[in-house]
A and B are shown apart, each in its own frame.
Chain A
Amino acid sequence: KAGVTQTPRYLIKTRGQQVTLSCSPISGHRSVSWYQQTPGQGLQFLFEYFSETQRNKGNFPGRFSGRQFSNSRSEMNVSTLELGDSALYLCASSIGTSVGNTIYFGEGSWLTVV
């Protein structure tokens, strides 16, 4: 069974640009969450989607947005990129939103903003 797939793996963007990252969850998983990881801040929760609806949102500015499609695939978008947005963006999927459901991470997308 394929794991969580994220694309692209690496990308470099310029300040002010926007970026879209894609995530395909494990087959059968309907919940997708996104995290930002930086050396200074650790793993920070961005948002979670289930059945195409945003279920929870972390404490990030409105420049960070996401969506989920009917096939559970998800995208996140960051507009007006800032240098501080340089990070590893991780997508994780789980079967559902019930407690006790393990989340499984993709390899991540490394974003560098210059």
Chain B
Amino acid sequence: GQNIDQPTEMTATEGAIVQINCTYQTSGFNGLFWYQQHAGEAPTFLSYNVLDGLEEKGRFSSFLSRSKGYSYLLLKELQMKDSASYLCAPERNYGQNFVFGPGTRLSVLP
């Protein structure tokens, strides 16, 4: 089965750092994807973690702890354009590979 939890909304200030958490209970877990979705647009790929630890990609980093069923997305030097929903998607190694979490709507204020 699947159970994915993310905060519904978060607010942060331009230039700040924000951490968006995702906890999951996923049978057959293989890895975890993060997607960004601006209002009215399609989700776009941000990161993929399969091993424990932190993956850094510019201003965005993603962390995974397989044993704890926990991931976070870290956004540094926030910009107004980072205002969007962030979806975590645990990946399974069988059946329907992707199940998306409910998403976290991030608002970046000036």
Residues of A bordering B, CB below 8 Å: 4, 33, 35, 42-43, 45, 48, 56, 58, 90, 97, 99-100, 102-108
Contact = CB atoms under 8 A, between A and B. Distances in A.
Nearest to B93: A99
A104 B42 CA distance: 9
A99 B97 contact: yes
B90 to A, nearest CB: 11
A108 B42 contact: yes
Q: Is the interface of B mostly helix, strand, loop or mixed?
A: loop
Interface in B13-31: 30-31
A114 B101 CA distance: 29
Interface residues of B, number: 23
B48 A43 contact: no
Contacts of B93: 99
B95 A56 contact: yes
A35 B43 CA distance: 11
Contacts of A104: 45
